Structures are given as structure tokens and as C-alpha cells.
């Protein structure tokens, strides 16, 4: 995204460092992300949009898609691999080759709307995952759980009114992108939290809003939009989550997956910009997914 931009390569190193330091790394199987195909992207984004992104991708230098979102000569490949990771992760989990999958990808995806890049996001990775599960594997119900501090407006844009997909989220409000509070459709369970909210407010939202909706919906697969920027140490926003809150929320959702979805979970990295907090929180999340707690 450019020098001094918070969405930077060191984010992935920070997660890797924590996996090594905690001893979790050796328990995981690693896969390289393939490039998403036009067919896989077309389930989410109009072909003209994908074509336009390919055409504006620079050969040198940096171009801006919006004030926050830039492309350099490597960005298109990274975005295609982030979406491709979503596809591979769904295949691996649904073919029972792995129990669950965490995709350590950049750029993130949940602000990418059907036909608009936004907020560091180019393709909506979790949407590509959900639609791949529905279209290529014949699933009928996929739930998307978004605990990034920002509302996943792109995911909402793509799925509002889609009966096959339930979206449940928490996010700081009022805050960028200033959406998500008007519950536009019956399949959206978005819970705005005031600045300063922490474990208590998170637990209330999960117990009172998410879990009843999820247990009624009975998802066959759960996809996380796993952003870690609601952490107290993250200066991007003003929620007060701690490392342990990411363990707790993952446990709650995993229990739903075990009840209804044969335990099948795919998790995709979204935000998280305080490097140490990002690494530690992602490690807590991954430990629960891997059954290492």
C-alpha cells in the first residue's frame, strides 16, 4: 500500500513469529495460496470489475484506487492469491484434508464491495470463500463471522438478502465505514459497539445476538473475517479487546461449528495493525482452531 501504510508486510511476519515462539507452528500444515480464477471471482464481483482491476494494476510505481487503497506492481498477484487462499481453504476443509484453515493473507477483503475497492481491500476474500462453498461444493448455508473493528460493509453489500449466507459481526460505531447499524436484511446480525467497549460488551453481543441467530441458521460451514484491530493496543480504533477475548470468541463460534457444521471453519485475516497484539491475538485464534488449547 506504500511506505508508512499500516497494512504492511510485517503484519504477516508478526503472526509467524508468534506461531514459532509459542510452539504452535509445528502443529500446523502449511499450503501456498493459488491464484483465484476469473470464474471464482465472478461469483462475487462482476467480470467488468475484475477486468478493470487487472487493467489499472501498475507495471511500476503506485496508483491509488481510493485515498486508503493503493496498488503497486505486486498487489494484483497478492490480491488474487488472497482470494485463491479462500478457495483452497474451503476445498481442504470440505474435503476433510484439514480440520480447519487460517489464511494469513494480504490484502484484506471485507470492505471490498461487489464493484468497488475500498479500505485496503480489492477482492472480498470471505465472500469468495462462501460462494465457492455454495457453488462448487453444493452447501446450502454458510455463516460469516466478522470480529474486525470495522464493519464489513463489502460483505454486507454482497450478501444482504441472500438466504444462503448469514453474517454476524461486531464493530466499533460510529466509526469507519459508518455503516452496519441499519440492519438492511434479515440475514445480517451486525452489533455496533461504542468506543471503549471490551470483553463484557463482546460477550453480550455474542451470547445475545450471534449465538441464537447461528443456532437457528445451522450453518454447514463457518467463515471468519478475522481482523484483530479491536485489540486495546491497536491505535487504529478504540475498542479494548485483549488477547484472551480472541480465544473466547473463537471457542464460542467453534462450538457452533461442531454442533452444526461438522467443525468446519475457514478463517481469513482482515485487519490488525499493532504488530505484537496482532501476532498474539492471531495465535490465540489459531490455537483454538487447531484444537491446541
* Nearest distance from C-beta of residue 123 to Zn ion, angstroms: 16
Count, residues in the chain: 293
Please, what is the minimum distance in Å from the beta carbon of residue 149 to Zn ion? Answer: 5
Rounded CA-CA distance 269/267 in Å is 7
Q: Is 45 a catalytic residue?
A: no
Write the CA distances from 206 to 107, 148, 185, 187, 228, integer angstroms: 27, 14, 19, 16, 16
Task: Enumerate residues 6+ apart whose C-beta is below 8 A from 188.
Answer: 156, 159, 160, 167, 180
Q: Map residues 192-221 to x or -, x wherever contact with Zn ion holds by CB under 5 A.
A: ------------------------------
DSSP assignment string, 38-80: HHHHHTTS-HHHHHHHHHH--SSS-EEEETTEEE-TTHHHHHH
109 binds Zn ion (CB under 5 A): no
Q: Which is nearer to Zn ion, 171 or 189 (CB)?
A: 171
Does residue 91 belong to the site contacting Zn ion (CB under 5 A)?
A: no
State the number of CA atoms in the 13 A half-sphere of 200 facing the CB: 3
Q: Considering only 1-9, 77-85, 265-273, 277-285, which stretch makes contact with Zn ion by CB under 5 A? A: 265-273
Comparing CB distances to Zn ion, the nearer of 91 and 229 is 229
Catalytic residue among 27, 45, 110, 111: 111
Which region among 89-97, 158-166, 195-203, 266-274 touches Zn ion (by CB under 5 A)? Answer: 266-274
Asked if 271 touches Zn ion (CB under 5 A), the answer is yes
> Left, alpha or beta for 262 (phi > 0: left; psi -120 to 50: alpha)?
left
- List strand residue ranges (DSSP E) for 173-231, in order: 188-193, 221-226
Q: Should residue 107 be labelled a site residue for Zn ion when binding is judged by CB under 5 A?
A: no
Given the complex with Zn ion, which of 84 and 272 has the nearer CB atom? 272
Q: Which helix (H) or strand (E) holds 125?
A: helix 125-137
CB of 262 to Zn ion, least distance (A): 30
Gap between the Cα atoms of 239 and 3, Å rounded: 26
Measured over the CA atoms of residue 164, residue 169, residue 173 and residue 175, the dihedral's sign is negative
Question: How many whole angstroms separate alpha carbon 111 and alpha carbon 234?
Answer: 19
Examine residue 227 and tell whether it contacts Zn ion (CB under 5 A).
yes
Minimal distance in Å, beta carbon 189 to Zn ion? 18
Degrees to nearest 5, angle at CA 145 with 160 and 142 = 65
Least Å distance, CB 133 to Zn ion, is 24
Smallest gap from residue 226 Cβ to Zn ion (A) = 10
110 makes contact with Zn ion (CB under 5 A): no
Size, binding site for Zn ion by CB under 5 A: 5
Of the pair 139, 249, the CB lying nearest Zn ion is at 249
Question: Within 115-174, which residues bind Zn ion (CB under 5 A)?
Answer: 148, 150
234 binds Zn ion (CB under 5 A): no
Question: Which residues of the shown chain bind Zn ion in the complex (CB under 5 A)?
Answer: 148, 150, 227, 229, 271
Q: Which residues are catalytic?
A: 111
Amino acid at each position: 500500500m506504500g511506505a508508512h501504510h499500516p497494512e504492511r508486510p510485517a503484519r504477516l511476519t508478526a503472526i509467524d513469529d508468534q506461531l514459532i515462539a509459542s510452539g504452535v507452528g509445528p502443529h500446523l500444515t502449511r499450503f501456498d495460496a493459488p491464484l483465484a480464477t476469473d470464474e471464482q471471482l465472478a461469483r462475487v464481483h462482476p467480470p467488468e470489475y475484475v477486468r478493470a482491476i487487472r487493467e489499472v494494476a501498475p507495471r511500476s510505481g503506485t496508483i491509488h484506487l481510493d485515498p486508503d487503497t493503493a496498488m503497486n506492481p505486486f498487489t494484483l498477484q497478492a490480491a488474487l492469491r488472497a482470494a485463491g487462499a479462500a478457495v483452497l481453504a474451503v476445498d481442504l476443509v470440505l474435503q476433510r484434508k484439514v480440520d480447519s484453515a487460517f489464511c494469513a493473507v494480504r490484502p484484506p477483503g471485507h470492505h471490498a464491495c461487489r464493484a468497488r475497492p475500498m479500505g485496503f481491500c480489492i477482492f472480498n476474500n470471505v465472500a469468495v470463500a462462501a460462494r465457492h462453498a455454495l457453488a462448487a461444493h453444493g452447501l446450502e448455508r454458510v455463516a460469516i463471522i466478522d470480529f474486525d473493528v470495522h464493519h464489513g460493509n463489502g460483505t454486507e453489500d454482497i450478501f444482504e438478502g441472500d438466504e444462503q449466507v448469514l453474517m454476524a459481526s461486531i464493530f466499533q460505531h460510529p466509526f469507519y465505514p459508518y455503516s452496519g447499524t441499519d440492519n438492511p436484511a434479515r440475514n445480517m446480525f451486525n452489533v455496533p459497539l461504542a468506543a471503549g467497549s471490551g470483553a463484557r460488551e463482546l460477550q453480550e453481543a455474542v451470547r445475545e445476538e450471534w449465538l441464537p441467530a447461528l443456532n437457528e441458521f445451522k450453518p454447514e460451514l463457518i467463515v471468519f473475517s478475522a481482523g484483530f484491530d479491536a485489540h486495546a493496543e491497536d491505535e487504529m480504533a478504540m475498542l479494548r479487546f485483549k488477547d484472551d477475548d480472541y480465544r473466547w470468541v473463537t471457542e464460542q463460534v467453534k462450538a457452533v461449528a461442531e454442533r452444526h457444521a461438522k467443525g468446519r471453519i475457514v478463517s481469513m485475516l482482515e485487519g490488525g495493525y499493532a504488530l505484537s497484539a496482532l501476532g498474539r491475538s492471531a495465535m490465540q485464534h489459531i490455537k483454538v482452531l487447531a484444537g491446541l488449547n
